[in-house]
Structure 1
Amino acid sequence: MNSTGDGRFTQPIMFASPRLAWELIERIISHSGDDRRTLYSFSLTCHQLRPRSLCLMVADVDIMDRAQVITFRDFLEAYPHFCPFVYSIKADPTTFMPFPLLYILPNLTNTQWSSPATPQPLGGLSLPLPLLTCCHKFGTNITSLSLVSLSSKTTQELCRVLLAFTAIKDLRCERLGIGGTVANGAVLEQRLRSQRLKLRNINIGYNVHETATKFLFDSAQSTVEILSLDITYSIISGPSALLCGKWPELLTLTLTVSTNQDRFEALIKISKEFHPSRLNEVSVELRSTVGDLLSWIGSDEGNLHLCSELDQTLLSYRHPQLLPFGHRRTRSGRKDLWSEEFAKYFPKLTERGLLKIASSADIALGHDDLVTALVYSPDGSRLATASRDCTIILWDSDGQLVHEWVAHTGSVRSLAFSPDSRHLASGSWDRMIAIWDVGQGSRKITTLKGHTEQVEHCAWSPDGTLIVSGSWDNTVRLWDTRTFQQLHLLDISTNDFYHAYFSFDGRWLILIGSHRCRVWDVGRGAMHINFRIAEGEETEDKAAIDEENEEDKGEGDEEDKDEKDEKDEDARPQCCAAALNLQGTCLATGYVDGSVRIWDVQTGQCLVFSRMHTRRVTVVAFSSDGTRILSTSWGDTPKILDTYSGTMILSLEGHTGGVGAACFSPCGKYVASASSDETVRLWRTDDGSCMGIFSEHKDAVWLSAFSPDGKTLSSGANDGSVVMRHIRDIIPVEDTSV
């Protein structure tokens, strides 16, 4: 019993929920305001959080079909106290019911009309007059209107929509099509003015037809104070021609542009010619990713000149700024890295502090785009990762960042350590292979030039005397690491190159493509064998495959044979994954039809055929002893197969998304798999049990690797994040020894 202090007693309250301060409630809700799933959970689990959560959940409503509109109307009629909390509605104009929604929602100020999926055919804004009349009567509180993924036959239809919302101050258009013009355009413009439609803010997003843009600019330029124009994908023949006239009230201009020569030239022309008297702030946002921007700058000397010209012309405005990341943010701690890099191309803006790079609150280290390569040094002391953002990061054996740098002017596609772990080779879409001394920092030793298309792969020979590189220019090149001169040029003649592997003794170089495997004798500098690895449906019989390869050997001239292959191989299932065993004697290949084959590298004989997957194979890998093969598929579970028979030993069930990466541990006792479900899993190979599920990543995971000593497991994801885990924290370290 509890005493009240006056001699009376009350029954104790059991299981009472804690009372939270209103300040704490507001902070919790505000922090999660953009996550509907979290708000929904709050509303179901916490009595105190429920009211505020529900209010935020109804503040911004999507009702894209008739059933949702009716359900939402019935909800508001049953719970009218929620009506004042509805501020924004996104709806399909063809199913929206302005009455009674506009009538019963006193604080509704923001409306977005959008098609439910792809842009509607012409006529999407051909709305009945009663609907527009109702919007005109009850939509007087609507001050912000967005038109997205819609189209109209003429500007007259667009004009009718604008006349229905006479109070709008902010207008945003995106993916807006116009079929044509009308003869009485001047009359429509005058009518808009007579209705006192005075836009203050116009935002023209991408894929807005030039006719619609010109109509809006001509109608509202006398009142607009804030203007945003995306000239990246806009259907505009001459963006600079649209920005003409006096624009007497314009204070702020934002231009969004892609890394395209024509658009950059238009941007520079606008900067030179468009100077309204009151214009104060001008922002230029580059829509492309940082990797695409650097690739574009490095692809042509003329693009570098355009950057220099933009660097100069923007300074003609009172308060300009350049945002090379657009609305995107770099990782915390990388701001200085990118500022230093872009200072090379925009030195004047950088010097004046007008190059703006925003960093996120995420303190996790990593790249700013997809991780494209992840490799350990042979001695296990370093991990190197590369990204589509053109950077390389070196990590120590504890997962701490050692050094990071912008390595190329193109996506870095491949990394390879030298056998002594002192040097790193990187292949890039800028058509270069760079050699780095990573003993102390990241000093560039040299650049290997010669490829005319993107470099997709590079590797060191076991003795460190050779580097092999493969490119989409249909060539494989061998380089001498003492002189860094090209030793051999192997013309594949068809766009068929995927990967190159040296045998463990360095005698053979195995070149694996989507249709053929070529074995190069490194010592003799000649082709040893060339056999077909992509076959038709009827070749599940290994004897049929071997017979066809025997016919290839007797077909005579190599060029004639390759020309014949080009004509008939497109119809064959392509090889999309490959791996060589440590001994260099067997090749495993995976195919788009879900099958896996094992080949004798020296003879070209097909040893095993297996079809354990129903969709494209993403990875094949040998265990260290070569007795088992790991295969993964985009739409199936990872499988462990017997190398000699092709029979399935284990199926590793658990991932809920496609598996894009998998590997054996050096000891062969474990398998790591990475998936689009944003997790990495660790499995035992003796019974298929899952030892751990790791959810550190917040995006699809495409790469995973064990260190050579098996003590750490690292992974890289689509968002650029890199995670290293110590196996000792998961299982006893003695179980992972090689």
Structure 2
Amino acid sequence: MGRSGGEPNLLSSGQQCSLLICMTCPALPISCTDVNDLVGEIRRAEPLITASRSDLVRRLIQRLQEKLRQHSDHTFYLFKLLRAHILPLTNVALNKSGSRFITGSYDRTCKVWHSLSGTPLHTLRGHGNVVYAIAFNNPYGDKIATGSFDKTCKLWSVETGTCYHTFRGHTAEIMCLSFNPQSTLVATGGVDTTAKLWDIQSGEEVLTLTGHSAELVSLSFNTSGDRIVSGSLDYTVVIWDTLTGRKVYTLIGHCAEISSAVFNWDCSMVVTGSVDRTSMLWDATNGKCLAVLTGHSDGIMQSCFDCTGKLVATASADGTARIFSAVTRKCITKLEGHEGAILQISFNPQGNRVLTGSSDKTARIWDAQTGQCLQVLEGHKDEIFSCAFNYKGNMIVTGSRDHTCRIWR
């Protein structure tokens, strides 16, 4: 736990890491845990937390409890309806603070929006085909990458809308992209079966990752940026070394196309989703399969971890979502209520709410522990393919094939 709100930084990095691990133990939700009991457990489990540090640990836990309780009972209302593009949207993405969000579209542009007012700030023009993949360089949020069916990726300034670089080298459409957390590299993956790493400062290609036999649909860096995981329609997932470009592990086990592949928060695990109706948990340190998460009757459209890496959410074309424990590998609850395929799923930053977007034209907010549907966000005229919480968890952006996006607050 680092400096925050003027709190003295009295714990070493090792103590901070140990404290965080203890505090994210899945035994009880920390928001309702007795603080003194938890401090005692932490001290018994971790000798680095001495008696002289107990008061600081207690204050840190209380602040974390306050943070986790924020917006738990928040009811969202439609704040803005934005007729964003003249053709259907392809994606929406928020910066970390939630002050800006971006939309990509079949109209070959990406737009930058002010979240609090709903006003457009920039229209990023220059691509010659569909703008399919978009991302901020979070946590910094001062740059945007756009990947297009025109086989290029462009890097833009959030502040001015200026294009810094156009990355050329793919021989087919770009389907996915990702910044490393250090904001020094952007990775792109395409129909040409390769991923490429680009230097943000120079605009030069750093590496080409070759080995997949079908198009790439998912790219995700680990926290340190020295590994990237790619998911492909060739049924496999690969963990790569970003310094050398070599394959570290090939994760083989799915029997159909991959839909998603991401690391958990400490990068010890990877969760993958597949059209074969399963998600799989993998040990990222040795490439071995830890568990096969089953129960869906149709393909998995997306899988993700919560912020602690203790929970896994899966969204399926069968119209349901499921929450699994990454520790026990058991299904905790089933989210039922959508009348069409669930296309996207994510946890709020506090980890107690789940957001789903569906082809039934609605988004839904769920209690992550009980599976209760807390709210239905209605109004879109076509499927919702993209939706996201802001970092505080008190704002949602939804993007739809109806050419619009909506801000919910």
The bucket for the TM-score relative to the shorter chain is 0.7 to 0.9
Aligned to 2:377: 694
Query: How much has 1:525 moved relative to structure 2?
Result: 4.2
Query: How much has 1:636 moved relative to structure 2?
Result: 3.2
Query: How much has 1:370 moved relative to structure 2?
Result: 2.6
Q: Matches of 2:109 and 2:348 in 1, distance apart? A: 27
Q: Is 1:422 paired with 2:105?
A: no
Query: How much has 1:498 moved relative to structure 2?
Result: 2.0
Aligned to 1:481: 200
Greater helix share, 1 or 2? 1
Matched residue type, 2:144: L
8 Å Cα contact 2:258/2:273 also seen in 1: yes
Aligned to 1:663: 346
Question: Cα–Cα, structure 1 residues 619 and 525, in superposed 2: closer, same or farther, change >3 Å?
Answer: closer
Instruction: Encode CA deviations 1:440-465: one digit per residue, 9 max, x unaligned.
Output: 2x111121111111011121111111
Aligned to 2:226: 507
Aligned counterpart for 1:623 among listed residues 281, 300, 306: 306
Aligned to 2:109: 391
Query: How much has 1:650 moved relative to structure 2?
Result: 1.1
- Aligned pairs for 1:191-590 (under 5 A) are 364-398=82-116, 399-419=118-138, 420-440=140-160, 442-514=161-233, 515-534=235-254, 572-590=255-273
Matched residue type, 1:452: T
Query: How much has 1:699 moved relative to structure 2?
Result: 1.1
Q: Matches of 1:633 and 1:387 in 2, distance apart? A: 24
Greater strand share, 1 or 2? 2
Percent identity (aligned): 26
Q: Matches of 1:599 and 1:436 in 2, distance apart? A: 35
Q: Matches of 1:632 and 1:379 in 2, distance apart? A: 26
Matched residue type, 1:659: I
Query: How much has 1:496 moved relative to structure 2?
Result: 4.4
Query: How much has 1:645 moved relative to structure 2?
Result: 2.8
Please, what TM-score do these two structures have when normalized by structure 1? Answer: 0.43
Query: How much has 1:364 moved relative to structure 2?
Result: 4.4
Query: How much has 1:366 moved relative to structure 2?
Result: 1.3
Q: Matches of 1:717 and 1:593 in 2, distance apart? A: 26
Please, what TM-score do these two structures have when normalized by structure 2? Answer: 0.76
Q: Which runs of 5+ in 2 are unaligned?
A: 1-80
Instruction: Encode CA deviations 1:505-556: one digit per residue, 9 max, x unaligned.
Output: 112122222322222222344332223242xxxxxxxxxxxxxxxxxxxxxx
Question: Cα–Cα, structure 1 residues 577 and 518, in superposed 2: closer, same or farther, change >3 Å?
Answer: closer
Q: Matches of 1:575 and 1:479 in 2, distance apart? A: 24
Question: Cα–Cα, structure 1 residues 480 and 676, in superposed 2: closer, same or farther, change >3 Å?
Answer: same
Q: Matches of 2:253 and 2:87 in 1, distance apart? A: 34
Question: Which runs of 4 or more aligned residues in structure 1 lie more than 6 Å from their structure 2 counterparts after TM superposition?
Answer: none
Q: Matches of 1:473 and 1:573 in 2, distance apart? A: 19
Question: Cα–Cα, structure 1 residues 486 and 707, in superposed 2: closer, same or farther, change >3 Å?
Answer: same
8 Å Cα contact 2:194/2:215 also seen in 1: no
Q: Matches of 1:377 and 1:368 in 2, distance apart? A: 24
Q: Tell me the SS of whatever aligns to 1:482.
A: coil
- Aligned pairs for 1:642-681 (under 5 A) are 642-681=325-364
Instruction: Encode CA deviations 1:296-317: one digit per residue, 9 max, x unaligned.
Output: xxxxxxxxxxxxxxxxxxxxxx
Matched residue type, 2:243: G
8 Å Cα contact 2:82/2:406 also seen in 1: no
Aligned to 1:150: none
8 Å Cα contact 2:218/2:260 also seen in 1: no
Matched residue type, 1:421: G
Structure possessing the higher radius of gyration over alpha carbons? 1
Structure with bigger RCO (C-alpha 8 Å, 6+ apart): 2
Q: Which runs of 5+ in 1 are unaligned?
A: 1-362, 535-571, 727-738
Q: Matches of 1:477 and 1:577 in 2, distance apart? A: 18
8 Å Cα contact 2:332/2:369 also seen in 1: no
